[in-house]
Copies of this chain bind each other. A is one copy, B any other.
Amino acid sequence: MATQYNDTDPTKERLLVEAERLFANKGFEAVSVREITAAAETNTAAINYHFGSKWNLYMEVFRQRWIPRATQNFHLFQQLQQKSDVTVEEIIGVFIRCFMDGPLSDHAERTTHARLIHKELDTPTEAYDLIVKEVIVPFYEVLIELVQRAMPGTSRQEAMFKCMSVFGQMVYFSHVLPIMEALMGPEFLDGLIEKSIRHIAEFSIHGFNVDGGRS
């Protein structure tokens, strides 16, 4: 079912929206120009007119839609940076809220956003370089600094690893909801996202305290 637009939506914007949805769900090669223009309710020449090529449209999806959406998530962390005392619990809480519960609370939009980057992580293209540089590296830099503030004495490498452990869980859990259903039965799906969030938070808080009880 295609999204509904009012007549004031410019063609270019509709193309970006539908292209993002289709690229995320099926992958670049599996989507045809005809399919995108049909979903955007325009003619087959529109992509080449507005973007020059199918590939350029793909890149513009990242530049104009993916990166701005990802950047919104920074705000919560920048608030955290203002505070004088930061705890591991707070960092993990904000971390999880950002990706499972924040500006991406709309399920379809979060799925689209996640699927686009997952495909780039698995099979990197030109878009991957852009995202690593513009989003992922700055994001981890902020996180590493926060962790080092909350846990003085933590090395840069250790802080990075810990953040990646949290993020890795979130990425994986968003993939395996159908597997959880196969393992636990369909009635288990009620409140599954909330249960997953609580688990990841608990698991990670304990994981962070790796040096808490040592020497």
- List residues of A whose CB falls within 8 A of some B CB: 25-30, 115, 118-119, 121-124, 132-133, 136-137, 140-141, 144, 156-158, 160-162, 164-165, 167-173, 175-176, 178-180, 182-184, 188, 195-196, 199-200, 202-204, 206-210
Contacts and interface: CB of A to CB of B under 8 A. Distances in A.
B210 A206 contact: yes
Contacts of A156: 184
Given A156-B184, A157-B188, A203 B122 contact: no
B179 A136 contact: yes
A143 to B, nearest CB: 10
Contacts of A121: 118, 175-176
A164 B157 contact: no
A179 B137 contact: yes
Q: Which of A118, A119, A158, A199 has the most CB of B within 10 A?
A: A199
